[in-house]
Amino acid sequence: MTAAPLLSSLDELRITNRYLSLPADPIADNYTRQVKGACYSRVAPRRFSAPQRVAYSPPLAADLGLSEAICRDPRFSRVFSGQELLPGMEPYACSYGGHQFGHWAGQLGDGRAINLGEVITATGASLTLQLKGAGPTPYSRNADGLAVLRSSLREFLCSEAMAALGVPTTRALSLTLTGDRVVRDMLYDGHPESEAGAVVCRVAPSFLRFGNFELHARRDERALLQQLADFSVTADFAHLLSLTGKERYLAWFEEISARTLEMILHWLRVGFVHGVMNSDNMSILGLTIDYGPYGWVDDFDLDWTPNTTDGELHRYAFGRQPAIALWNLYKLANAIYPLIGSAGGLEQILRQLEREYHRRFYEMMAQKLGLARREKGDLSLIDELVQLLGRAETDMTLFFRTLSRLQSEAYGQPLTSPLRAAWYQPQQLSAADVEAIEGWFQQFGQRLQREDPGRDELRRQEMDRDNPKYVLRNSLAQQAIERATDGDYSELERLFTLLQHPYAEQPEMEQYAAKRPEWARHKVGCSMLSCSS
């Protein structure tokens, strides 16, 4: 693939604002309020005292045509913290609602996100630039619209790490310190602290969410609902324009559902837990969006959630993500029902999606296990493995990576030793646990022997393409945050570089592939996080 030509100046960015063709909030003043009959409000980013770029993403910058010299120039920091607007930039914040933890929350909107405009790249792609933490908007409710370094660093790193993993995601172009302090009560326990303020420039083809459509449907703003749906189809699903009427909207919903399913399967594949799957955090394009209290499962646990707010109900736990995605799709279906006028087609799509999920899940797991063909007994083999991984407190990332190294002839022998490195508490395993684990490996070995016995190396290569060696464990992110808080960004830079190649061996970085250290088991920022994290 030929690299996109690089620009000589930020002023050469081609910026448009298709979204501004939709109805706007007629009130120009920026104060908290209910915004009705509009898709967005025009706002201006807050003035900051001393913007300073901390990090940027060279791969994404290159996609936008931005050279290293441009990204290291002080003007880059000013533009991507909202202090200077390029020609064509017209800042605005979007209006949307959503269901939060299963309950309708009313109007939410871009409370601390401000869109700058859409860049048209050299390949013709349209990518929206959005600043997170650039100040209040009419949708900020009681908040200040700002963000702090620790949460911004987590979002910057994770956005780009997920992209490198091949997971559908919004991206992050830059992380900028504002030079100002922000007060946050990280654990919501009455102990607020002053922290460094920061802004992340997020990038995506669209930031439309399920909640954009839910809000207009709830308010019975049918004309606006249809305008927004037509905009979405035209902007990001143009291949559906040949369809008309309800057939177009059904096909649109079917593709949204398929993209959502694809995203969830990727989350399960790499062990990612979003942590706050409210319907306002669900992308119409099936992109991972809004990196708040996310986490990677260290020890495989279907009931684990990284979100302190979800600590009692575990609504958004690792293993519940497929069901919650379906629940959110039902809410979106309810929202767009007025455009179709009948429920049958929508219900059929959702029923089919549920069946497709189960088929695709087992297919994904079979690929993680390196199975080249499918047999009837594979489903029970996978189900038993899922139970055993939780029973033995096994590091998910290490387990599958280690599994790819085992030669087929090893599967006739006890396999406690090769996998011990993936267990967190091997001394706590009972004799029955070990017997069950070794029994599974006996079955798995017999299964492999029914395939080509000479494909060990090919199987390893295939498994290594599905099973990452390096993921952004919370303990790794926390160490980078602690150093960055002291003004040392070397660990941030090291992690960014490492996570651009998560499937590669990178022998010199072997320590980053180790399982979670014991000190991180209950440490704030490593085990569970709040929405302020």
Structure tokens at 3: 């690299």
CA distance 286 to 291: 14
Is the domain of 176 the same as that of 158? Answer: yes
Which stretch of 52-56, 235-239, 368-372, 387-391 has the lowest confidence by average pLDDT? Answer: 387-391
With the CA atoms of 158, 161, 166 and 170 taken in that order, what torsion angle do they form, in degrees rounded to the nearest 10?
40
What pLDDT does 437 receive? 87
- The one-letter code for the residue type at 306 is P
What pLDDT does 410 receive? 62
Domain extent, residue 503, equals: 474-520
393: left (phi over 0), alpha (psi -120 to 50) or beta: left
Residue 460 dihedral angles phi and psi, to the nearest 5°: -60, -45
Is the domain of 447 the same as that of 507? Answer: no
3-state secondary structure of 188: coil
Q: Which of 323, 329, 351 is nearest to 283 (CA)?
A: 329
Is the domain of 153 the same as that of 243? Answer: no
The per-residue pLDDT for range 19-77, each reduced to its tens digit, is 999 999 999 999 999 999 999 999 999 999 999 999 999 999 999 999 999 999 999 99
pLDDT band at 416 (very low <50, low <70, confident <90, very high): low
What pLDDT does 300 receive? 94
> Does 532 map to a domain?
no
Residue 174 dihedral angles phi and psi, to the nearest 5°: -155, 160
Is the domain of 402 the same as that of 489? Answer: no
Is the domain of 451 the same as that of 485? Answer: no
What mean pLDDT value characterizes the chain?
93
Name every residue whose Cβ is closer than 8 Å to that of residue 78 and which is 6 or more positions away in sequence: 51, 84
Q: Which of 346, 308, 325 is nearest to 264 (CA)?
A: 325
> Which letter does DSSP use for residue 54 in this model?
E
Last residue of one domain, picked from the residues 349, 366, 383: 366
Q: What is the mean pLDDT of residues 254-274?
A: 98
185 catalytic per annotation: no
Q: Which of 498, 503, 387, 488 is nearest to 480 (CA)?
A: 488
Is the domain of 380 the same as that of 460? Answer: yes
Q: Over 80: is that where the pLDDT of 423 sits?
A: yes
pLDDT band at 418 (very low <50, low <70, confident <90, very high): low
Is the domain of 24 the same as that of 124? Answer: yes
> Does 262 map to a domain?
yes
Q: Over 50: is that where the pLDDT of 1 sits?
A: no
Domain total of the chain:
4
> Which letter does DSSP use for residue 200 in this model?
E
What pLDDT does 408 receive? 64
Q: What is the mean pLDDT of residues 411-439?
A: 78
The per-residue pLDDT for range 114-134, each reduced to its tens digit, is 999 999 999 999 999 999 999
Say how many C-beta atoms besides its own lie within 10 A of residue 358's C-beta: 11
Q: Over 70: is that where the pLDDT of 3 sits?
A: no
What pLDDT does 533 receive? 41
CA distance 211 to 203: 19
Query: DSSP labels for 454-494?
Result: T-HHHHHHHHHHHS-S----HHHHHHHHHHHHTT--HHHHH
Residue percentage of the chain with pLDDT more than 90: 81
> Which position among 25, 63, 110, 280 bears the catalytic label?
280
Is the domain of 425 the same as that of 485? Answer: no
Is the domain of 339 the same as that of 424? Answer: no
> Which letter does DSSP use for residue 373 in this model?
S
| Angle at CA of residue 309, ends 307 and 314, nearest 5° | 70
Longest dimension (CA), the chain: 73
The per-residue pLDDT for range 394-407, each reduced to its tens digit, is 999 999 998 888 76
The per-residue pLDDT for range 459-490, each reduced to its tens digit, is 999 999 999 999 999 999 999 999 999 999 99
Q: How far is CA 398 from CA 302, 347, 479, in A?
A: 17, 40, 20
Instruction: Output 222 or 523, whichever has higher pLDDT.
Output: 222
Q: Over 60: is that where the pLDDT of 295 sits?
A: yes
